[in-house]
A and B are shown apart, each in its own frame.
Chain A
């Protein structure tokens, strides 16, 4: 029987480059920018358009933007999702937007739009990192 410790292959370590740090950080701060700085123009613009429009539609639908909180677990997760939108979240908090009390049925969609925009931006930042380390073309 083969010894698992001898047959187990370890993943090669990826070199840490400036781009592998910058791309996900900038991609988080400005949705799509992580792809744009790596000259993935179409992908970057599509991501930027999708996430920014989704976030703004959420605000226009009177969606709620979560503040840092230590209360209900769903509120904490909502905050984590919102923070994913990076600069959009920071600007929204600075302008004190997104405090809508849910007054109609589709306002809850707005809250979900904002959270999902942030979560999608997390995925995009990870994708920008994979491009930066050469794991993805």
Chain B
């Protein structure tokens, strides 16, 4: 099997799985876990966009 994802979809999938684990392991209550997981996901995806724009500016 040879799965070829784009850079963006690879990064988003990575963010989903890492955020789930971070949320569960770094907080105690269910509500905090969900909130922290969403926060991590937003930071991961936000970081992807920031890194993307930085690379775009460096290339110009």
Contact = CB atoms under 8 A, between A and B. Distances in A.
Interface residues of A, number: 29
Contact of B20 (A50, A106, A113, A116): A50
Contact of A106 (B4, B16, B17): B4
Interface in A1-57: 43, 46-47, 49-51, 53-54, 57
B18 interface: yes
Interface residues of B, number: 20
B21 interface: yes
B14 A109 contact: yes
Nearest to A130: B25
Instruction: Classify the interface of chain B: helix, strand, loop or mixed.
Output: helix
Contacts of A124: 21, 24-25
Nearest to A31: B21
B21 A120 contact: yes
Nearest to B19: A50
A53 B13 CA distance: 10
Instruction: Classify the interface of chain A: helix, strand, loop or mixed.
Output: helix
Given A106-B10, A113-B14, A57 B3 contact: yes
Contact of A50 (B6, B10, B17): B17
B4 A123 contact: no
A137 B28 contact: yes
A120 B10 contact: no
Contacts of B25: 123-124, 126-127
B58 interface: no
Contact of B21 (A47, A57, A59): A47
Given A47-B21, A49-B20, A61-B5, 17 more contacts: A50-B16, A51-B21, A53-B17, A54-B13, A57-B13, A60-B1, A60-B2, A61-B3, A104-B4, A106-B5, A106-B6, A109-B7, A110-B3, A112-B14, A113-B14, A123-B22, A136-B28
